[in-house]
Homo-oligomer: A and B are copies of this chain.
Amino acid sequence: MTYHYPNGKRYTIGTSPLSASNYKPKEKNWTYGKRGMTFEEDINETNQYYLDQGIAVIHKKPTPIQIVNVDYPKRSAAVIKEAYFKQASTTDYNGVYKGRYIDFEAKETKQQSSFPLRNFHEHQIVHMREVMNQKGICFVLLRFSLTEEVFYLETKKLLIFWDRMNNGGRKSITKEEIINNSLCIPLGFQPRIDYIKIIDTLYHLND
């Protein structure tokens, strides 16, 4: 894996873009500007970059809240005094790229050798199946936080591992399985996590 130049120049995916099987752990012999940013911040910054550049319109959905009690003080904004977090019925991110519907979820683990499937909720899996049936572009971004590696795993492949679990198999995806079934996304400068490049490759939207 080559590193990229932090001058905004686009990163070029390696020789085998349709598989991450040529993946090698990166050597950290270079320093990185905004290290310490969370995965969510990286994705939000990426989406903002896509928006600013007119590349794509992707937003994170607000966290769903059940509001129970609201106070309306005179001459100032309404204050929510009691509310509860609700479980989301969809994935976190969606939007549009070249007319196509884009939908994804981003998950992170501190484990090193596998990715636990408990990170996903049943309703998210149901939603992703529905999006697939409507021919939306649907995937998950998986991050191994200790090594800062990010992988793009198509929903149809995630579902194979999900169904394996439901049939009594292992409750996680091994790192090797992820490497063999997904595409790695090198951490870039701008955009930070260039998943649109992967979509271009997989769906030939740039031809």
Contact = CB atoms under 8 A, between A and B. Distances in A.
A54 interface: yes
Contact of A54 (B80, B85, B127, B133): B133
Interface residues of A, number: 40
Instruction: Give the interface SS of chain A, mostly helix, strand, loop or mixed.
Output: mixed
Interface in A93-141: 94-103, 127, 130-131, 133-136
Given A56-B134, A57-B131, A98-B134, 16 more contacts: A51-B130, A57-B127, A57-B134, A57-B136, A59-B90, A61-B61, A62-B62, A62-B63, A79-B82, A79-B83, A79-B84, A80-B83, A83-B83, A94-B94, A96-B101, A97-B134
Interface of A: 51, 54, 56-57, 59, 61-65, 77-86, 88-90, 94-103, 127, 130-131, 133-136
